[in-house]
């Protein structure tokens, strides 16, 4: 905004001066400004004809200069920036934050201090507030709201953050407007007014061709010379396409492709833009063209009779003015935010004429497109809602037009969030405003009338009838937003009532009653007899309405109950309404008699007449009645003598019918009514609905029980349950006889249900107002009952508890009292476990239990008691006492009808022939007796003689009835409960007999009534001992099992480990000084001293045919060929240079893996063996089966048959090839060496000379054979025949040298290759080819010469991976290797050794070997410099290919002397790599410190290591000199440590390779549980046959030094070393890649991405910002805007993640979806899954999708687990497993993420 007056265009200066002059004269008005805009605006903001509509951009600089500068300059009357500054200084420091949230911004609520969940803070305020230490809740805004910091009505405490408290401390009552010169105020007013009018007129234009007269271009505008072109704008038109919610993205895209003939990509861009903005210009041309496009689009989208897309042809200058109007609103918004003075002026303007502008915008809201609407809403928030008075004013206008606004909203098809109605939450949640609106503006009536008018359209027989499929469903769904507003308004009950407020509330209340009476009895059901229901009746709509109302009704009750006058009036209104619903059928009575009682009952048959589950009117009656006592009122108070008032039995009748219906459903009588009924009953009972359903019903029946005589009450119940005849003494004899089996069963269940209902009514007292308990105790009770089912994690428990109106369960307040939070070892998620002392509160018949929960908890509790040595029963707990108004209920337990009922059950229990009883009835009767006994005990204690159960029970001789049942076979299940009851009975009898124990004892007995008498100290002891014994046994069993499986998986190892290992008593502490001299030679894998061993045949069982076969010696047919399932994947996991990748796989030369490992091929296997034949058949079956499947169903498949993927038939691991199992390589070698004594030794120098001879005699130039490797300059070389080479060596060196050299290639050990049958060699060729094809991602080519090289590369890369995985886990080389890792590598390495015998042409092997040999020994410009080699891969390829280098000689690597020499060469190359890139420590401090140590070390260490250090220094100096690098000052010891540390990974790789090649067992140390890197270094030197204690002696050979000379003199070395330094070369040789580091606090992460813009659409926020965890790049995922065509030219669009994964992870990716806190794994383009994020809340639980919003923190163990999955290449397999296990989930189109 800031600008310099001097910089202003002179013409503009003139203009402004002119305006000022006019203004001073009082002749200036908005018309002057508009007249200027009339010409300038079209000039700047008109789109050009035939422009690219996707790239319309305007010259904003010119706009600033010509449009905004004059405006600001005029308004300020001087330098605007100075004026703004002054105005800002007048501001009272802000005490209100009010920052407006954008979509995706993080918001923080405080669960301790927030008034309601809509009160939120922005990130800045939150971080600076006290709430960040409270129980906060994080979520992301959907846009539109603002920060409530500083709003006293939003927070109970800590209203201000540290930033805004400052505003609070200053005096607030200064009005900044008083300090502004009046002429400035006047001009600001003028400008604001002009803008508002202009924007209002332009943005709400409905007529597309005309604009306000004074803005029209006139013929006279042509006159001044250059205006003619401007006038041409009159002939330019645009086609404008609008957003709607009825057409899909794809429909819009295809329509556009056809109507404006654009590419798919462009169409996607248009559609994205329309979705974001609400509209988009798709064509800019003359009128004819634009109309044609419009017609086409309308025609295309209205096909099939649908509503067409909204398209308009518009004048381009109309567009220009609209664009400018929208810019002006943004400008205004920014100005308003900048200073309070502006806001005050703004609100004055808006409020004048009774807020005509607000009114206007509300009225035209739905006529505007998305962004225009949102701009206005933002303007109102920033201009009106920050100031209390303006806000009130705005709220009044908003309320006045509420009805019209909602009606428009219903007809509109946009989201609620972009409707002006969404501002309701900002206004109504503020209590002072809400109360003002209720009192003065009749807001409740306005809201409810709007809602009711919609309901009235849906009335049928005076009841709401919501049909599911009616066309008005959506309008009814939309109108329900009113109920949210209603909830906001009633959110806080008034502290003080005024008459206006009472009137306003009661008016609204009356309408709520009307609504409830429309719902009373809706969706009635009639029991279906005979046939099933033909169609399922609709039930969901009613429940959805119920759920919304259920959060309003408790608030209504709370309001009504807070004032005596209001309560009386409300209750009277309610009674009248209830009276009206008492229809005629309630008045029909008949008389029922039982014992001596005759009762006039309502005549109704639930099993044949309609019954409904929706009874909101009865339920609100229950809620209000509960509060009467507070004001000394009750149902019969004179205040409530209302005409038509229902009698108590009429009051409870509807609810009782529902109860009976549910009982009948349980009895199986409603079986034919289908799922609609089942679902309704489920939700009736479910935690989401039951507070305003089941709970209120029980409450109402309890109320009725206090109003009706107990005997009468029970008869009403019995009658409604249809059990009057059952209750007769002669029932079994006279009534049952005629009944059929089915009827009898139903009666049995109905009796159970009846007893259950009675029990619920007398025992459920955990509702404040009914029992003498607090709200906390109610929650505790719920938690206790839930935890009696099983221990639960926080989230599950919290979900199972009912929520209050603020979506809080109140669980945290009480949970620690009743439960302990326990985490099992290794588990991330913890569980709440009930504290011991609370088990006695367990109520088996708790009314919130489902039947499953009931039986599950019973099983758990019985088991618990059994284990504790207690009686196996769960007697009733002692309930809390009733409140005074409810004490009457206990009388039910001693009334005659009750006693008669239990007598009936107990007697029939004892009658052998009785058929109408059940064990369950007995159990319930015993519980009821138990409750009665508890109650008597309580009354006795209070010295209250009113309740005396035992005395009354004598009438029916209850005690003897009970005692008669002892030992009866029918009571077996409940014998413990029976004896408990009898015991209890006696103890209560004793109480009243006066022979009581001391009172404390009875008190204790009361408190722990349910713990058994037997539960004494000795039982406790025994229980503990039992527990210990059990645990011991469990552990022993587990150990045995583990040993068993260990032996099994390590079978080979156990048998093969030579006895020498056993004989070494204890491996002494490996101190490196003496180890080599003193220990006997341990295992050595290669070289002349190689440990001899006979490999064994290994038996495998085929997992498909279960037959055993062995892969053995290769002598003769030993068995059918076998394979392992294998997975080959391209990989970048180990890459140390993510900038590099293989761009052209078709031409890539895989001779050597690059030193930075920027590409590689990883092979894995699940280790399950199959016969090759069995596998082939299985694989073909899978193929045919999947090919037959229609294409669309393949989407959800966890494997991609196009990539020859399949799942292992045993473990479902993902595979894409089969890895052949081959015999070991040393078999023949070992045999030979037994017979032959000492093989002739060859000198290193002679060996090198021999190889040089080979190179010298090589032939060919690679031209003769055309392969795909044309680009490779080396071409193909052929080696000379062996005799020729031999002659050459003799000439070069000596005969002896020639002989020893020949021995290397001739001796039978390495040339006797086992016979491989053709089927096996086919399998081998297949596998080798698979590595080539999957590894490079190229087309099949069985004769490619790159095949063997790819196999060797994958061996090296896979071993690198394993080495790093082990190192990352801090493990010694072979520690804790899984059997699948072990089996896979063993098979892979053996296979790689056999590769030469399965290639199409052996020359390929010879050529490759020669090429590599030449690279290593000769170098040269075209060969890669030695710093670019992965030396380990060089070693693998050379050692496996060299034995076959000569024509006609087929050799095999067996760990011979030659392999040792190769190792030395490669190891040396690696050492030189390390040396030449060494960077000495710079800090002198360190050197000084080390110096002392050095002396110590030197004294202790043998001369060997000491000389190593100096030798390394000399090599280093020499190398640097050769490479023309400046000399270095080096600390020898530090250098030696560096070398040891950094060359260890190389040695580890070699160790793995030669171990699996030669099968020589490894020293114990390599498997030890503690990893000591330095000691392992020496151990590996020994195992690899190198000199144990000195590097120098190994390499101090002139022939080798010559090689070093050659490597280092390469002139590329200098640049490479310099380049390596920048990346940190010290790390990069051994670095293990990590996933990006994440902030410890999740909210920090979400803050950082809240501003992340979508890279494809300028400046817009990304909806699903997603972070690549490999490289840290942010992507805009799952959004059309960032889709890319991939592979190019296929018309397949993929999402940003898929595209990125292809490049970053060679097709595999691991991402964090930041806003949802979800980890996304992707693989192979079409597969993916979500896994748990590494962020956990304090209960160790994740929160995918931020559903709970608890604070989340990074869990390093979890993140480490993800890292390990990634590092070990297990992502594809993890995806396959996850997809397999939820295959029925709706298919996600992973490629679009």
Which is closer to Zn ion, CB of 433 or CB of 1213?
1213
Stretch that binds Zn ion, among 139-147, 222-230, 724-732, 866-874 (CB under 5 A): 139-147
The angle, 0 to 180 degrees and rounded to 10, between the axes of the packed helices 1756-1767 and 1346-1368 is 160
Which is closer to Zn ion, CB of 112 or CB of 1789?
112
**Token pair for 1546:** 């190389």
Query: Is residue 1111 close enough to count as binding Zn ion by CB under 5 A?
Result: no
Q: How far is the CB of 1682 from Zn ion (least distance, A)?
A: 3
Which is closer to Zn ion, CB of 87 or CB of 1133?
1133
Query: Is residue 113 close enough to count as binding Zn ion by CB under 5 A?
Result: yes
Among 30, 51, 81, 112, binds Zn ion (CB under 5 A): 112
Query: Is residue 1210 close enough to count as binding Zn ion by CB under 5 A?
Result: yes
Q: How far is the CB of 126 from Zn ion (least distance, A)?
A: 8
Pairing status of strand 1108-1111 against strand 1098-1101: antiparallel
In sequence order, what are the beta bridge partners of 591? 600
Query: Is residue 1671 close enough to count as binding Zn ion by CB under 5 A?
Result: yes
Q: How far is the CB of 1323 from Zn ion (least distance, A)?
A: 13
Check if the beta carbon of residue 690 is closer than 8 Å to that of residue 847.
no
Among 67, 97, 615, 1675, binds Zn ion (CB under 5 A): 97
Which of 1004, 1181, 1006, 1174 is CA-nearest to residue 1101? 1174
Which is closer to Zn ion, CB of 152 or CB of 835?
152
Q: How far is the CB of 1679 from Zn ion (least distance, A)?
A: 5
> Scanning the structure block, which residue is given the tokens 């969030």?
417
Measured between its terminal Cα atoms, the distance across the chain in Å is: 40
Check if the beta carbon of residue 121 is closer than 8 Å to that of residue 108.
yes
Stretch that binds Zn ion, among 133-141, 387-395, 1227-1235, 1243-1251 (CB under 5 A): 133-141
Which is closer to Zn ion, CB of 114 or CB of 1551?
114
Which is closer to Zn ion, CB of 23 or CB of 131?
131
Q: What are phi and psi of 348, to 5 degrees?
A: -60, -45
Stretch that binds Zn ion, among 914-922, 1205-1213, 1441-1449, 1498-1506 (CB under 5 A): 1205-1213
Query: Is residue 137 close enough to count as binding Zn ion by CB under 5 A?
Result: no
Q: How far is the CB of 1635 from Zn ion (least distance, A)?
A: 10
Give CA–CA dist 1391/1218, Å, rounded: 12
Query: Is residue 1213 close enough to count as binding Zn ion by CB under 5 A?
Result: yes
Which is closer to Zn ion, CB of 309 or CB of 1169?
1169
Which is closer to Zn ion, CB of 1279 or CB of 1679?
1679
Among 177, 1105, 1142, 1528, binds Zn ion (CB under 5 A): 1105
Give CA–CA dist 235/232, Å, rounded: 5
Among 164, 373, 1148, 1286, binds Zn ion (CB under 5 A): 164
Burial tier of 301 (Cβ tally within 10 Å: 0-12, 13-18, 19+):
buried
Q: How far is the CB of 1437 from Zn ion (least distance, A)?
A: 30
Which is closer to Zn ion, CB of 34 or CB of 134?
134
Query: Is residue 132 close enough to count as binding Zn ion by CB under 5 A?
Result: no
Query: Is residue 1771 close enough to count as binding Zn ion by CB under 5 A?
Result: no
**Token pair for 1113:** 């010696």
Hey, CA dihedral for 143, 144, 150, 154, is it positive or negative? negative
Query: Is residue 120 close enough to count as binding Zn ion by CB under 5 A?
Result: no
Among 208, 425, 982, 1211, binds Zn ion (CB under 5 A): 1211
Q: How far is residue 347 from each of residues 354, 388, 393, 1661, measured CA to CA in Å?
A: 12, 11, 9, 30
Give CA–CA dist 1374/1563, Å, rounded: 10
Do you know the residue count of the chain?
1793
Check if the beta carbon of residue 629 is closer than 8 Å to that of residue 567.
no
| Stretch 947-1006 residues interacting with Zn ion (CB under 5 A) | none
Give CA–CA dist 567/254, Å, rounded: 61
| Stretch 1687-1726 residues interacting with Zn ion (CB under 5 A) | 1704
Among 516, 557, 1323, 1676, binds Zn ion (CB under 5 A): 1676
Check if the beta carbon of residue 1778 is closer than 8 Å to that of residue 1212.
no
Which is closer to Zn ion, CB of 161 or CB of 1462?
161
In sequence order, what are the beta bridge partners of 1162? 1129
Classified as helix, coil or strand, 1720 is: strand
Q: What is the CA radius of gyration of the chain?
A: 44
| Stretch 1648-1667 residues interacting with Zn ion (CB under 5 A) | 1654, 1656
In sequence order, what are the beta bridge partners of 1087? none
Among 445, 1073, 1104, 1599, binds Zn ion (CB under 5 A): 1104
Check if the beta carbon of residue 309 is closer than 8 Å to that of residue 242.
yes
Q: How far is residue 332 from each of residues 60, 74, 85, 382, 608, measured CA to CA in Å?
A: 17, 15, 16, 10, 68
Among 76, 100, 115, 147, binds Zn ion (CB under 5 A): 147
Hey, CA dihedral for 1062, 1068, 1069, 1074, is it positive or negative? negative
Which is closer to Zn ion, CB of 161 or CB of 578?
161
Helix/strand/coil (H/E/C) assignment for every residue in 531-572: CCCCCCCCCHHHHHHHHHHHCCHHHHHHHHCCCHHHHHHHHH
Which is closer to Zn ion, CB of 335 or CB of 1208?
1208
Query: Is residue 125 close enough to count as binding Zn ion by CB under 5 A?
Result: yes
Q: How far is the CB of 1218 from Zn ion (least distance, A)?
A: 12
Which of 315, 434, 418, 308 is CA-nearest to residue 373? 418
Q: Which residues contact 528 (CB under 8 A, 6 or more apart)?
A: 670, 672, 673, 674
Among 1413, 1600, 1681, 1752, binds Zn ion (CB under 5 A): 1681
Q: How far is the CB of 1722 from Zn ion (least distance, A)?
A: 11
Q: How far is the CB of 1692 from Zn ion (least distance, A)?
A: 18
Which is closer to Zn ion, CB of 163 or CB of 1465?
163
Query: Is residue 1670 close enough to count as binding Zn ion by CB under 5 A?
Result: yes
Among 378, 493, 900, 1171, binds Zn ion (CB under 5 A): 1171
Q: How far from chain centre, in Å, is Cα 806?
A: 24
Which of 1457, 1496, 1577 is CA-nearest to residue 1090? 1457
Q: How far is the CB of 280 from Zn ion (least distance, A)?
A: 16
Query: Is residue 781 close enough to count as binding Zn ion by CB under 5 A?
Result: no
Give CA–CA dist 206/1376, Å, rounded: 75
Q: Which residues contact 594 (CB under 8 A, 6 or more apart)?
A: 715, 718, 724, 727, 897, 900
Give CA–CA dist 1364/1347, Å, rounded: 26
Q: How far is the CB of 247 from Zn ion (least distance, A)?
A: 21
Stretch that binds Zn ion, among 96-104, 263-271, 561-569, 922-930 (CB under 5 A): 96-104
Query: Is residue 1793 close enough to count as binding Zn ion by CB under 5 A?
Result: no
Among 41, 978, 1123, 1166, binds Zn ion (CB under 5 A): 1166
Give CA–CA dist 1327/73, Å, rounded: 78
Query: Is residue 1668 close enough to count as binding Zn ion by CB under 5 A?
Result: yes
Stretch that binds Zn ion, among 45-53, 122-130, 395-403, 1601-1609 (CB under 5 A): 122-130
Q: Residue count at the site for Zn ion (CB under 5 A)?
A: 36
Give CA–CA dist 1538/1302, Å, rounded: 39
Query: Is residue 478 close enough to count as binding Zn ion by CB under 5 A?
Result: no
Which is closer to Zn ion, CB of 112 or CB of 359?
112
Q: How far is the CB of 1644 from Zn ion (least distance, A)?
A: 17
Name the site residues for Zn ion (rule: CB under 5 A).
97, 99, 110, 112-113, 122, 125, 131, 134, 147, 149, 161, 163-164, 1102, 1104-1105, 1166, 1168, 1171, 1174, 1208, 1210-1211, 1213, 1654, 1656, 1668, 1670-1671, 1673, 1676, 1679, 1681-1682, 1704
């Amino acid at each position: 905004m800031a600008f310099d007056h001097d910089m202003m265009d002179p013409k503009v200066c003139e203009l402004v001066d002119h305006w000022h002059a006019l203004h001073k004269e009082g002749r200036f008005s908005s018309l002057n400004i508009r007249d200027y805009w009339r010409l300038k605006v079209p000039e700047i903001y008109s789109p050009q004809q035939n422009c690219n509509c996707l790239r319309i951009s305007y010259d904003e600089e010119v706009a600033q200069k010509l449009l905004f500068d004059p405006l600001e300059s005029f308004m300020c009357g001087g330098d605007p920036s100075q004026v703004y500054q002054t105005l800002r200084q007048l501001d009272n420091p802000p005490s209100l934050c009010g920052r407006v949230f954008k979509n995706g911004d993080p918001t923080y609520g405080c669960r301790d201090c927030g008034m309601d969940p809509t009160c939120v803070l922005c990130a800045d305020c939150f971080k600076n507030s006290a709430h960040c230490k409270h129980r906060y809740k994080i979520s992301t805004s959907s846009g539109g709201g603002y920060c409530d910091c500083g709003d006293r009505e939003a927070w109970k405490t800590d209203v201000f953050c540290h930033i805004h408290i400052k505003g609070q401390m200053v005096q607030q009552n200064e009005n900044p407007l008083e300090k502004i010169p009046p002429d400035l105020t006047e001009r600001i007013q003028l400008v604001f007014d002009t803008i508002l009018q202009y924007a209002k007129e332009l943005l709400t234009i409905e007529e597309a061709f005309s604009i306000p007269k004074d803005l029209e271009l006139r013929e006279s505008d042509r006159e001044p010379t250059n205006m003619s072109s401007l006038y041409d704008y009159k002939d330019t038109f645009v086609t404008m396409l609008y957003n709607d919610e009825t057409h899909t993205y794809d429909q819009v895209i295809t329509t556009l492709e056809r109507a404006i003939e654009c590419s798919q990509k462009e169409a996607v861009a248009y559609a994205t833009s329309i979705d974001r903005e609400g509209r988009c210009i798709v064509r800019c041309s003359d009128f004819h063209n634009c109309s044609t496009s419009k017609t086409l689009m309308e025609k295309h989208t209205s096909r099939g009779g649908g509503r067409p897309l909204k398209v308009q042809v518009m004048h381009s200058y109309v567009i220009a003015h609209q664009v400018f109007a929208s810019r002006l609103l943004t400008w205004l918004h920014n100005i308003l935010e900048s200073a309070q003075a502006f806001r005050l002026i703004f609100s004055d303007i808006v409020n004048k004429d009774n807020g005509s502008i607000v009114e206007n915008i509300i009225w035209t809201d739905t006529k505007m497109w998305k962004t225009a609407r949102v701009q206005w809403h933002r303007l109102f928030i920033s201009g009106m809602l920050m100031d209390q008075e303006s806000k009130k004013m705005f709220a009044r206008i908003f309320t006045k037009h509420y009805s019209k606004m909602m009606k428009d909203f219903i007809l509109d098809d946009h989201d609620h969030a972009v409707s002006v109605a969404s501002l309701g939450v900002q206004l109504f949640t503020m209590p002072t405003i809400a109360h003002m609106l209720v009192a003065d503006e009749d807001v409740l009536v306005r809201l409810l009338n709007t809602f009711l008018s919609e309901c009235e359209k849906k009335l049928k027989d005076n009841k709401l009838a919501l049909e599911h499929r009616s066309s008005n469903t959506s309008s009814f769904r939309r109108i329900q937003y009113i109920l949210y507003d209603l909830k906001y308004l009633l959110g806080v009950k008034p502290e003080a009532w005024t008459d206006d407020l009472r009137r306003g509330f009661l008016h609204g209340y009356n309408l709520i009653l009307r609504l409830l009476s429309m719902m009373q009895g809706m969706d009635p059901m009639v029991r279906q007899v005979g046939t099933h229901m033909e169609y399922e009746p609709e039930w969901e709509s009613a429940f959805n309405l119920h759920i919304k109302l259920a959060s309003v009704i408790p608030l209504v009750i709370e309001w009504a109950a807070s004032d005596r006058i209001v309560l009386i009036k409300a209750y009277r209104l309610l009674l009248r309404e209830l009276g009206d619903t008492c229809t005629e059928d309630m008045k029909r009575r008949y008389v029922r008699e039982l014992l001596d009682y005759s009762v006039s009952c309502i005549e109704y048959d639930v099993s044949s007449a309609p019954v409904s589950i929706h009874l909101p009117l009865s339920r609100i009656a229950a809620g209000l009645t509960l509060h009467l006592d507070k004001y000394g009122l009750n149902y019969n108070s004179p205040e409530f003598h209302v005409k038509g008032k229902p009698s108590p039995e009429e009051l409870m009748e509807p609810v009782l019918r529902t109860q009976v219906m549910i009982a009948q459903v349980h009895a199986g009588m409603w079986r034919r009514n289908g799922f609609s009924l089942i679902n309704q009953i489920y939700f009736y009972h479910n935690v989401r609905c039951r507070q305003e359903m089941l709970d209120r019903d029980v409450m109402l029946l309890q109320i009725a029980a206090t109003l009706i005589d107990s005997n009468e009450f029970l008869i009403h119940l019995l009658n409604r349950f249809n059990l009057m005849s059952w209750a007769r003494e002669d029932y079994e004899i006279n009534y049952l006889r005629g009944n059929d089996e089915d009827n009898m069963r139903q009666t049995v269940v109905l009796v159970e249900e009846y007893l259950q209902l009675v029990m619920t009514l007398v025992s459920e007292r955990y509702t404040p107002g009914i029992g003498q308990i607090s709200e906390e105790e109610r929650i505790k009770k719920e938690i206790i009952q839930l935890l009696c089912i099983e221990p639960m994690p926080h989230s599950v428990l919290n979900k199972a508890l009912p929520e209050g109106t603020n979506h809080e369960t109140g669980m945290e307040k009480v949970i620690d009292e009743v439960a302990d939070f326990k985490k099992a070892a290794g588990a991330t998620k913890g569980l709440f476990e009930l504290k011991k002392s609370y088990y006695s509160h367990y109520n088996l018949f708790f009314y919130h239990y489902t039947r499953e929960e009931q039986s599950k908890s019973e099983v758990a509790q019985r088991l618990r008691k059994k284990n504790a040595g207690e009686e196996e029963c769960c007697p009733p707990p002692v309930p809390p006492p009733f409140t005074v108004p409810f004490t009457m209920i206990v009388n039910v337990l001693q009334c005659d009808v009750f006693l008669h009922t239990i007598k009936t059950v107990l007697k029939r229990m004892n009658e052998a022939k009785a058929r109408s009883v059940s064990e369950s009835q007995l159990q319930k009767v015993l519980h009821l007796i138990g409750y009665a006994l508890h109650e008597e005990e309580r009354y006795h204690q209070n010295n209250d003689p009113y309740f005396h159960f035992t005395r009354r029970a004598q009438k029916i001789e209850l005690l003897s009835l009970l005692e008669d049942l002892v030992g009866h076979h029918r009571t077996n299940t409940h014998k413990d409960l029976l004896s408990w009851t009898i015991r209890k009975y006696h103890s209560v009898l004793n109480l009243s007999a006066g022979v009581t124990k001391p009172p404390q004892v009875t008190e204790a007995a009361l408190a722990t009534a349910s713990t058994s008498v037997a539960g004494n100290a000795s039982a406790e002891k025994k229980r503990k001992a039992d527990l210990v014994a059990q645990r011991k046994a469990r552990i022993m069993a587990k150990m045995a099992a583990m040993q068993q499986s260990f032996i099994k998986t390590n079978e080979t190892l156990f048998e093969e480990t030579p006895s020498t290992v056993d004989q070494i008593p204890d491996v002494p502490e490996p101190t490196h000084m003496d180890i080599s001299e003193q220990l006997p030679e341990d295992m050595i894998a290669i070289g002349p001293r190689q440990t001899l061993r006979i490999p064994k045949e290994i038996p495998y069982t085929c997992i498909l045919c279960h037959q055993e076969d062995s892969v053995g010696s290769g002598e003769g047919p030993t068995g059918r060929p076998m394979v392992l399932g294998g997975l080959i994947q391209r990989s970048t996991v180990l890459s140390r240079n993510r900038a590099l990748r293989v761009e052209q796989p078709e031409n890539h030369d895989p001779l050597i893996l690059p030193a930075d490992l920027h590409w590689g091929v990883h092979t894995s296997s699940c280790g399950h063996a199959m016969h090759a034949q069995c596998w082939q058949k299985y694989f073909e079956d899978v193929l045919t089966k999947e090919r037959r499947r229609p294409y669309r169903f393949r989407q959800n498949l966890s494997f991609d048959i196009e990539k020859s993927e399949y799942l292992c038939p045993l473990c479902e691991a993902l595979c894409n090839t089969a890895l052949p199992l081959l015999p070991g390589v040393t078999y023949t070698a070992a045999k030979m060496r037994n017979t032959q004594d000492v093989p002739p030794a060859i000198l290193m120098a002679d060996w090198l000379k021999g190889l040089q001879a080979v190179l010298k005699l090589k032939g060919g130039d690679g031209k003769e054979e055309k392969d795909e490797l044309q680009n490779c300059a080396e071409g193909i070389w052929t080696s000379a025949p062996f005799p020729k080479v031999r002659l050459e060596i003799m000439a070069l060196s000596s005969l002896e040298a020639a002989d020893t050299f020949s021995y290397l290639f001739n001796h039978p050990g390495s040339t006797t290759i086992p016979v491989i049958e053709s089927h096996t060699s086919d399998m081998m060729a297949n596998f080798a080819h698979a590595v080539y094809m999957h590894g490079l991602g190229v087309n099949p080519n069985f004769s490619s010469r790159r095949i063997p090289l790819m196999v060797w590369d994958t061996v090296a890369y896979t071993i690198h991976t394993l080495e790093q995985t082990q190192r990352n886990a801090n493990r010694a080389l072979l520690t804790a290797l899984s059997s699948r890792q072990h089996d896979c590598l063993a098979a892979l390495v053996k296979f790689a050794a056999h590769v030469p015998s399965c290639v199409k042409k052996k020359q390929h092997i010879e050529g490759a070997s020669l090429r590599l040999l030449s690279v290593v020994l000769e170098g040269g410009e075209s060969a890669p410099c030695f710093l670019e080699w992965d030396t380990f891969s060089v070693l693998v390829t050379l050692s496996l290919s060299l034995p076959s280098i000569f024509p006609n000689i087929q050799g095999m690597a067996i760990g011979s002397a030659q392999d040792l020499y190769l190792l030395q060469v490669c190891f040396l190359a690696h050492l030189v790599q390390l040396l030449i890139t060494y960077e000495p420590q710079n800090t002198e401090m360190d050197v000084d410190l080390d110096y002392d140590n050095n002396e110590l070390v030197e004294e202790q260490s043998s001369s060997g290591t000491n000389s190593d250090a100096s030798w390394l220094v000399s090599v280093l100096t020499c190398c640097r000199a050769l490479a023309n690098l400046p000399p270095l000052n080096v600390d020898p010891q530090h250098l030696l440590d560096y070398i040891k540390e950094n060359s260890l990974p190389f040695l580890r790789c070699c160790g793995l390779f030669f171990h699996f090649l030669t099968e020589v067992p490894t020293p114990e140390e390599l498997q030890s549980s503690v990893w000591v890197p330095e000691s392992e270094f020496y151990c590996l030197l020994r195992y690899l046959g190198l000199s144990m204690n000195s590097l120098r002696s190994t390499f101090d050979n002139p022939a080798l030094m010559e090689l070093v000379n050659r490597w280092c003199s390469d002139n590329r070395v200098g640049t490479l070393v310099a380049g390596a330094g920048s990346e940190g070369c010290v790390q990069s040789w051994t670095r293990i890649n990590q996933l990006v580091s994440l902030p410890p606090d999740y909210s920090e992460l979400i803050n950082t991405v809240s501003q992340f813009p979508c890279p494809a659409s300028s400046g817009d926020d990304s909806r699903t910002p997603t972070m690549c965890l490999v490289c840290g790049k942010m992507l805009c995922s799952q959004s059309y805007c960032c889709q890319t065509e991939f592979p190019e030219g296929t018309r397949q669009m993929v999402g940003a993640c898929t595209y990125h994964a292809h490049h970053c992870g060679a097709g595999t990716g691991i991402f964090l979806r930041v806003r949802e806190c979800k980890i996304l794994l992707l693989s192979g383009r079409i597969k993916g899954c979500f896994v748990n994020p590494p962020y956990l809340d304090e209960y160790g639980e994740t929160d995918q999708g931020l559903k709970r919003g608890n604070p989340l923190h990074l869990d390093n163990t979890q993140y480490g687990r993800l890292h390990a999955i990634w590092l070990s290449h297990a992502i594809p397999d993890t995806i396959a497993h996850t997809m397999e296990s939820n295959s029925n989930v709706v298919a996600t189109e992973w490629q679009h993420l």
